[in-house]
Amino acid sequence: MDELAFQQLIYEQIPITEKMGLEIIEFKPLSVKILARLKPNLNHKCTAFGGSINSLMTVCGWAAVFINIKKFDSDSHIVIQRSNIEYLSPINQDFIAECKIEKYETIEKFLLSYKKYNRARIKLNVFCRNNDKILSRFEGQYVAITS
């Protein structure tokens, strides 16, 4: 599945992503990047709404799990079990969330656990940035289960 096909999928499966104006920039097993436009995500201070930032980062991590587990089991279900977010700086322009998996062994361990137990957990870090400045940090634990 390429970036455009995945973008259409999340628009259908998670309708708020289209309203938020999310655009998939990169959709690879070890790196997912999603752009959010500021305008549809403004708060009363003309900066990005915290809920929109959290949603973007949650979807970015979910997408990283999706691209890896769906090749292995197309019927699996992915949910977020817990998350933590830090808002480091107000966001006053378009912004990008990135989930980068540094080691392929992390995915291999996740998939082996899934194969053995029909469920697996993975903890992922997502960073929201504008250019090189980190604006927000997110850690989410996702669970994949068989249907």
Which residues does 122 contact at the CB level (< 8 Å), separation at least 6?
A: 65, 106, 107, 110, 141, 142, 144
pLDDT at 63: 98
pLDDT at 7: 96
Q: Determine contact, residues 120/113, Cβ cutoff 8 Å.
A: yes
Domains of the chain: which residue ranges? 3-145
pLDDT at 31: 97
pLDDT at 134: 94
Residues 147 and 134: their CA atoms lie apart, in Å, by 37
Q: Determine contact, residues 91/54, Cβ cutoff 8 Å.
A: no
- Walking along the chain (147 residues) 10 residues at a time, the average pLDDT comes out as 94 94 96 96 94 97 96 93 97 95 94 96 94 93 93
Residues 53 and 43: their CA atoms lie apart, in Å, by 11
Query: Crossing angle for the helix pair 104-117 and 50-72, nearest 10 degrees?
Result: 70
Q: What is 3-145's CATH number, 3.40.50.720, 3.10.129.10, 3.30.1280.10, 2.160.10.10? A: 3.10.129.10
pTM (whole model) above 0.85: yes
